[in-house]
Copies of this chain bind each other. A is one copy, B any other.
């Protein structure tokens, strides 16, 4: 049996940091990259636009040919062809020549300006230019939007539609992203029943399994719900081993009773090691941290708010590290809406709801499902604090 070690939160986090789990990289097609996190800096492999591009419909010409043009004495240029968007120009614009060009088409060799068709007159194969054009008029130069070699997006960027469009613009068909860590989720407790099953006397429906599974997904992980284990040691061990075999991390949420917690702890101990059994915070006493075959195992408390608080404190930072979102800000400063009392010598995490600049404590007791649904996150009340006054600044950590 493990030494049942109640440790400070910092020591528990040290244990988690010592797990040899590193972010892994995979390549996904651009079409599937939305919502993923870049695992590398992305440097543009090409110039955008890749060529000098007409920004208007008109005539491509040499600007210097038009310097003498005026309303009364238009310059006449001979039109030697047309270039349309998507085409490669076949002509060369020499002195006195021009070509019709459509928006988006590449400038022909020799041309350095485009005069839009509304400003000229076309007479047979000649075009009449009434005012001087400057080099670059009506032209977007190659690479002016995105020069080849430019750092486009940094490692750690979460890809929204603007970012995937940018990657498309530079022709990236495949994108290096952080692999989604696979997390096995197991609910424990003889009383737990899954939705869809009949609720027999003495049973309640699963809450933590669903909350943890979907919180992992929102964090960018791949959650695999294994099932519900009662107090049969063989069933519990089999589920844990299934999680260890198929996933990178295993998260169990505890049944309500102390017996179930002890069984969870002893089963992990038998299959691997238990490093932490209890954290010196409230809630957190029943939390277990262990390892089987190099895979971290977490045993979270059974009460939903306690489960989610400990998930947020312990599991979420590990997942965020693995998906490359470590720097994501999940805290906000607010003012406490009303006075609260705490017990001296106890480090407490209290659920709060945010309304405007206020943090409103939710004091329904950790057994209430609705207390975590109503809460946006929690605040910490340090050990040496007994009273937090209304209006005091508090830091709210969002759940998840």
Binding site for B on A (CB under 8 A): 30-31, 34, 46, 48-51, 53, 55, 57, 83-89, 102-106, 140, 145-146, 160-174, 189-196, 199-211, 213-215, 217-218, 225, 230, 255-260, 302, 304, 364-365, 367-370, 372-373, 399-400
Contact = CB atoms under 8 A, between A and B. Distances in A.
Contacts of A217: 34, 161
Q: Tell me the number of copies of this protein.
A: 2
A210 B214 CA distance: 27
B209 A168 contact: yes
A191 B86 contact: yes
Contact of A87 (B30, B190, B365, B373): B190
Interface centre among A46, A55, A202, A258 (most CB of B within 10 A): A202
A302 B46 CA distance: 21
Residues of A contacting B: mostly: loop
B104 A257 contact: yes
Nearest to A160: B218
A103 B195 CA distance: 22
Given A145-B368, A165-B210, A368-B145, A190 B86 contact: yes
Given A210-B30, A373-B162, A205 B169 contact: yes
Contact of A104 (B196, B200, B210, B302): B302
Given A50-B204, A190-B87, A204-B49, A167 B140 contact: no
